[in-house]
Amino acid sequence: MKDTVVQILNFFGWAWWVEVKTENPRCTYYFGPFANQQEAQEMSSGYVDDLKDEGAQGISVYIQRMKPDELTVFDELGETPDHERFPTLSGQLS
C-alpha cells in the first residue's frame, strides 16, 4: 500500500527526493521517491557514505519535493555554459 501512495505522490511531483551533488566527480544524483521528508532525510546519510566510499568529494545534500527526469547527471567535461563563459557585448565598437 505504501508503495502505491509513494508512486501517486511521485506522479504528481509531490514525493520527496534526495538530491546529492558532488564536485569531484561533477555529478548530481537523485534518490527516491519517499513519502515524507523525514524518511528522505534518514536515508540520505547512507547515500552520502556510499559516495564517500567511492571517493567523491565536495558533497552537498538537498531534500525537496520534485520529480527528476534522470537519476544521475554526469558532467564529464565540467564545462561552464556559454552564457557564463562569454561576456555580453553592448554592440559598440571602440
44 within 8 A of 61, measured Cβ to Cβ = yes
pLDDT of amino acid 79: 52
Q: What is the pLDDT of residue 77?
A: 65
Per-residue model confidence as pLDDT tens digits over 35-92: 999 999 999 999 999 999 999 999 999 999 999 999 999 986 655 444 444 444 445 4
List the one residue out of 18, 45, 43 whose CA is nearest residue 29: 18
The Cα–Cα gap between 57 and 12 comes to 33
pLDDT of residue 89: 47
Q: How confident is the model at residue 30 (pLDDT cuts 50, 70, 90)?
A: very high
